[in-house]
Structure 1
């Protein structure tokens, strides 16, 4: 058996944040990558905007998770990407220019996904000729999926949401620290992964730790903030920006696993603290950027 055609989505619910168009995607029937809860498929986007015909990655929640069907399931991830992109825009325009004497990075950008509902599934075919059942191996009919631009280059994980950080990506670790500082300790953007193209980082699937746990399964709240701060050893860029770290103890974040941690994996006492936004290590301040 094989696949007769690609999976296809309907036009996206959300508009592209750059060009304002809605797009639909067709994509392979087999994933090329998988995480703990999602599968990634190669494909192409189509529509009337400038992205028509370009390569994309369509992301699908795995079967067997509680997040499998609805638009609402994608909202926390979508909002995290929008929030991270806003922080990155401010950092790129207002902070990076002041660091150009010591770094080459000129821009940090986050991909914001399009959310779309499935239109049609590929079919299995007998002897390569006669289509029979729809291929529901990975995707349900009318399931909602996320569509992102395909990132060309070496995909890397620069830090995690539980304390790991790649020390060679100093500017991204500083960016994560800066988001905590500039938001009055209310948010911390992390789990940074993507590609570097020259002086630009293009990142996808961020986690945001928030005071009230609004950003879904990878939002570990104040517990995640503490884990980042304990592991983060401030570099010269942090010092130039005057960033404080009340929990720095020299622990190397590189010794922590680079995998993503989910809020239900925390110890019970930490789940309670995260839900309550309770920490003994720092206070919440008036934000400079909300």
Structure 2
């Protein structure tokens, strides 16, 4: 069984007069579905920043991360770690009629909150709902035999479960998009992770490090490009 939440619609009207929200990589616009089973319900449209709206590989990479995240969430559900359901919003690539620009469209999430980041930030509330999300991240690392870490968890918590959107995955090989900080990111995350009531003490962890490579940030931290040592510095070039 796949725990997903899809558009289930064919048309939307997006209000582009005002940005609804903005993250590290994307701007978010609010709209509503105008045709299909979700007609009349709210949705959001997400655009990548930095002029990437016409570049298909950004969207393909994003959707691959979503597919991988869905598999992790399904495995977490099958393991029966918590009773509450966790649904994942599944965006689709749609196109603006007027401009031909690509956008990611998905259903709106109410009660939006951040559960953790890709540097290991997490609210220290002692709340069971937050601890369940930290357990999901820890489980992903254990269940993948230390290859992947599902993190940057955000979305809405409801009476009987969660809806998540836009998660990140970090990997040993640093191949899961711009929010994948690689082994240093995984170590930074676990440097700050505190197991709660839903973590299993037998779950795997990386070897502890004395100092985290990345500072804790509530927002998403983007991986830096490696320095090209063979090239002259930009400061030596006349603007």
Fold in common (TM above 0.5):
yes
Is residue 2:185 matched to residue 1:224?
Answer: yes
Deviation of 1:47 after TM superposition, in Å, equals 3.9
Matched residue of 1:88: which SS? helix
Q: Aligned runs of 1:205-244 on 2, under 5 Å?
A: 205-239=166-200, 242-244=202-204
Distance 1:201 1:250 in 2: 34
Query: Which of the residues 75, 79, 84 maps onto 1:106?
Result: 84
Matches of 1:66 and 1:214, distance apart in 2: 22
Structure 2 vs 1, CA of residues 234 and 93 (structure 1 numbering), >3 Å: closer, same or farther? Answer: same
Distance 1:157 1:251, change over 3 A: farther
Question: For residues 89 and 24 of structure 1, what CA distance do their matches in structure 2 show?
Answer: 29
Distance 1:60 1:20, change over 3 A: closer
1:83 and 2:46 equivalent? no
| Cα pair 1:232 1:248 within 8 Å, conserved | no
- In structure 2, distance between residues paired with 1:19 and 1:113: 7
Which 5+ residue runs of structure 1 have no aligned equivalent? 1-16, 100-104, 121-140, 270-290
- Per the alignment, residue 54 of structure 2 pairs with 69
Structure 1 position 211, deviation (Å): 2.8
> What TM-score do the two structures reach when normalised by structure 2?
0.81
Query: Is 2:120–2:192's contact at 8 Å kept on the other side of the alignment?
Result: yes
Runs of 4+ in 1 over 3 A off after TM superposition: 17-22, 246-252
1:191 is aligned, of 132, 152, 160, to 152
Q: TM-score, normalised by structure 1?
A: 0.67
Can you list the C-alpha shifts for 1:107-149, whole angstroms capped at 9, x where unaligned? 11211101112212xxxxxxxxxxxxxxxxxxxx211100010
Matched, 1:200 2:185: no
Residue in structure 1 matched with residue 117 of structure 2 by the alignment: 160
Which of 100, 103, 109 aligns to 1:142? It is 100
Rounded Cα–Cα distance in structure 2 between residues aligned with 1:251 and 1:231:
10
Residue 51 to residue 251, structure 1, CA distance change in 2 (3 Å): farther
Task: Give the structure 1 partner of residue 234 of structure 2.
Answer: none
Gaps of 5+ in 2: 229-239
Structure-2 change in CA distance of 1:40 and 1:177 (3 Å): same
Q: For the Cα contact (< 8 Å) 1:45–1:52, is it kept in 2?
A: yes
Structure label with greater radius of gyration: 1
What does residue 134 of structure 2 align with?
Answer: 173
Tell me what 1:45 maps to. Answer: 33
Q: How many Å separate the matches in 2 of 1:20 and 1:42?
A: 14
How many residues are aligned here?
218
State the match for 2:93 in structure 1.
115
Give me the whole-angstrom Cα distance separating, in 2, the residues matched to 1:19 and 1:159.
23
Q: How far is the alpha carbon of 1:21 from its aligned partner?
A: 5.2
| Offset from partner CA, 1:216-275 (integer Å, 9 cap, x none) | 1111122221111111122232235x21324457999xx82211100127x759xxxxxx
Cα RMSD of the aligned pairs, angstroms, is: 2.6
Q: Is the 8 A contact 1:233 1:248 kept in 2?
A: no
Check whether the contact 1:219–1:263 (CA below 8 A) recurs between aligned residues.
yes
Aligned partner (choices 1, 22, 25) of residue 12 of structure 2: 25
Distance 1:19 1:230, change over 3 A: closer
